[in-house]
Amino acid sequence: MGFLSDNCTLKLYNQDIIDSCNPFDCDHTDLNDFFTNDVDNYSSELLGKTYCFTLDSDPTIIVCAFTISNDSIKTTHLPNSRKKKVIKEIPRPKQMRSYPAVLIGRLGVHKDYRSVEGEEDNTGKQLMDFIKSWFIDGANKTGCRFIVVDSYNEPRALRYYAKNSFESLFSSEEQEKEFTGLPTEASLTTRLMFFDLIVLTK
């Protein structure tokens, strides 16, 4: 049926997990560093909550982990049809909208469990399907329209999110640098991408 549902258990990723499990290795230095050294700090500051799936046959093995936090996508702009009129006449306030979202800060799958023999979907796909389902679940306490991810700006990570139907929030790296206050000559280490949950049905 599913490797994560049948062979793993979802748990809060906290200091107890770090102390009792083997080091989580998703073959990415920065992600490993985050899941080893930064998770506790993010949790204690209430900046993000981290969850993991451990293997049922050996609970010292962390199969995958992800950090999520509440966020929103806010827009402010003048609708095209009103632009000329507003410029010509009295300035009017811009339209502002705020869409509730959950931000996946970090997500990783153990290098030895990315694909499991006999499974139709790889573990990363199963994990993303779980996260999407979790936020359209009727038991979800708050409304959530979008999943946003702060993906590493690396081919493998970007390909993973694209395969899971995420789109870039900004049309170009230059635009993303402008909006995030980075100088044009700086390198963009992460890209913001989003998925609209409205298309899914239970």
Partner 1 sequence: MAIAIKSIPVLKDKAAAHFTSKVAENSAKKSSVDFSKQTSIAARILAKAKI
- Check if the beta carbon of residue 28 is closer than 8 Å to that of residue 35: no
Distance of alpha carbon 112 from alpha carbon 117, whole angstroms? 11
Per CB under 8 A, 161 contacts partner 1: no
The DSSP line for 56-100 is SS-TT-EEEEEEEEEEEEEEEE--HHHHHHHHHS---PPEEEEEE
Minimum distance between the CB of residue 161 and partner 1, rounded to whole angstroms? 14
Is residue 100 a contact residue for partner 1 (CB under 8 A)? no
Nearest to 189 by CA among 42, 31, 24, 26: 31
Tell the smallest beta-carbon distance from residue 52 to partner 1 (Å).
10
Instruction: State the minimum distance, in angstroms, from the CB of residue 201 to partner 1.
Output: 4
Q: Which residue stretch of 5-13, 18-26, 85-93, 107-115 sits at the interface with partner 1 (rule: CB under 8 A)?
A: 5-13
Binding residues for partner 1, per CB under 8 A?
1-2, 4-5, 9-12, 30-31, 33-34, 37-38, 42, 47-48, 51, 67, 69, 71-77, 80, 97, 99, 101, 103, 105-106, 126, 129-130, 132-134, 136-137, 148, 150, 152, 167, 169-171, 175, 179-181, 189-190, 192, 196, 198-202
